[in-house]
Structure 1
Amino acid sequence: MFETIRYDVSDGVAYLYLNRPDKLNAFIAQMNKEVKEAVKAASSDEQVRCLVISGEGRAFCSGQDLAEVDEKMDHGQVLRNHYGPMIKQIRQCEKPIIAAVNGVAAGAGFSLALACDFRLVSERASFINAFIHVGLIPDSGNLYYLTQLVGQAKAAELSILGEKVSAASAVEIGLANQLIGEDNWGKGVNDFATRIACLPTKAIGLIKRSLKAASTLSFEEYLEQEAQGQRIAGLTKDHREGVTAFMEKRKPVYSGR
């Protein structure tokens, strides 16, 4: 089905692997398209309750494949036609998305990781806003997410100096959620994803809506958004299961509905 990515579903978790390891999983237009299609498939699949995005080989994603770049290219149109639709599809997904950053995440690869809800990093992981090194600005939603995570001053530093951020430093500055040792990488990612997949999926989607709204609405508008979201959450089977489990003093078993 896909040529530049690998997509599998197991035990409620969809795994999307960027699959151009000989090119450090650098983006080409087809990969943008296939990532968008896979995220859309995960969004509509009732069996999927969590999505993990990672890279094959030793890199997460090294950014744009410069072999596809020429001096006549309209970089704005590339964003409008390829990167923008991919990032929008990720943002529209109401299921939790984990970036499992197994190696370098540079340029648009950094942007891809930023667009996810969680970032797990291996000891070999690193982040670099490499755009400045080729005379470009961070794109694919990069600064939109980066400033929210680390603040404007740190975002400016990372973007203008273009220095590499190690895995440990990424956790320290709030760029990544968790550092997982190499000897436990696969299991650690799977355990984290499984834990997320067992939570009330609809409630997570509503939390994601609220997080987006919090940065754009007035306080009064946000309270109304909150009330609407809570009404929807209160009608879910998972809410009823949570209350019943609490009353029966047992662990809830959520279905994602």
Structure 2
Amino acid sequence: MAELLEASRTVQQDDSLGALVVAANGPVWSSGGDPNALQSGFGPGADASYLVHREKIGGENGLGDLSDQAIEFDALGIGAWLTAYLQCEKPLIAAIDGVAVGGGFALALAHDVRVISDRARFMPAFNGLGVGPELGASWTLARLVNPSRAASIIMTNTWVDADEALASGLANLTVTSADLLATAVDYGARISARPLPQVLAAVRALREAAGTTLEQRLALEWDARRASAGPA
């Protein structure tokens, strides 16, 4: 996540770069966090802000360290990573081949565009792990699909295949696995050919189109997670 944040900052600061395409090597786009590795930070009474702002996601290129006192008042937790990632106002394009689960599912939803392969599959996984949504999934999913369907997907841990993802609006475009990366890069190139100020203005307006802000929803999720989350 620190490396992905560094890439987003590079794209934001370089006017010769018009978009960021996030792909994966292999059949898994992202399986999310490892519950065993994160267990000590997410149980009742634990404060995962230490994992976020210290060794796990912090570091030279990641989120900055917070003092112990600042962590006590940390309102966003892991959501702070997402707000930093979205400071890149160039279009963020997820090229998804295979599964995106848990935090990986939430990360996919946070992108402006999702180009997926015909073997892509999505699942929230939060309920199965005994935790609540993270990285804004409760906000982004309800914006992409209707709120009733979003509630069903999150509450029942429903798998969403490529056909449903496209039909519901979760995905923008479906292609074969072999064509995925080239299609996503071409999508980014077509956007990059547009005047940069207009692209930045469109991205900013689209991300703020809903009533409740993402940061407000991130804070709500983090409060709920710290209060009740624990490993399954």
Matching residue within 49, 56, 59 for 1:77: 49
Confirm or deny that 1:153 pairs with 2:148: yes
Which residue of the partner structure matches residue 210 of structure 1?
205
Task: Indicate the RMSD between aligned Cα atoms, in angstroms.
Answer: 2.0
Which residue of the partner structure matches residue 39 of structure 1? 8
Q: For 1:47 and 1:118, how far apart are their aligned partners in 2?
A: 20
- Where does 1:106-121 land on structure 2 (aligned, <5 Å)? 106-121=101-116
Which of these two proteins has the greater Rg computed from alpha carbons?
Answer: 1
1:61 and 1:105 in contact (8 A); partners too? yes
- After superposition, the Cα gap between the structure-2 partners of 1:165 and 1:79, relative to the gap in structure 1 and judged at 3 Å, is farther
SS at structure 1 position matched to 2:158: coil
- Paired with 1:64 and 1:102, the residues of 2 have a C-alpha distance of 18
Deviation at 1:209, TM superposition (A): 1.9
Q: Secondary structure at the match of 1:211?
A: helix
Aligned-partner Cα distance in 1 for 2:23–2:156: 26
Q: Secondary structure at the match of 1:189?
A: helix
Map of 1:92 onto structure 2: 87
- How many residues in Structure 1 have an aligned counterpart in Structure 2? 186
Could you say which structure has the higher strand fraction? 1
2:131 counterpart SS class: coil
Conserved? CA contact 1:79–1:140, under 8 Å:
no
CA deviation after TM superposition for structure 1 residue 72, in Å: 5.6
Q: Name the amino acid aligned to 1:85.
A: A
Provide the C-alpha distance between the structure 2 equivalents of 1:151 and 1:169, rounded to a whole number of angstroms.
13
Given the two structures, how large is their TM-score scaled by the length of structure 1? 0.67
Q: Does 1:164 align with 2:133?
A: no
Distance in 2 (CA, whole Å) between partners of 1:143 and 1:100 is 21
Residue identity matched to 1:155: A
**1:177 aligned to 2:172?**
yes
C-alpha distance in 1 between matches for 2:83 and 2:100: 19
Q: Secondary structure at the match of 1:158?
A: helix
After TM superposition, the runs of 4+ consecutive aligned structure 1 residues lying more than 6 A away are: none
Structure 2 residue ranges without an equivalent (≥5): 58-77, 213-232
Counterpart CA distance in 2 for 1:166 and 1:153 is 18
Cα distance change of structure 1 residues 71 and 190 upon mapping to structure 2, 3 Å threshold: closer
The one-letter amino acid of 1:101's match is I
Q: TM-score, normalised by structure 2?
A: 0.74
Structure 1 residue corresponding to 2:98, chosen from 97, 103, 114: 103
- Deviation, 1:80, is 5.8
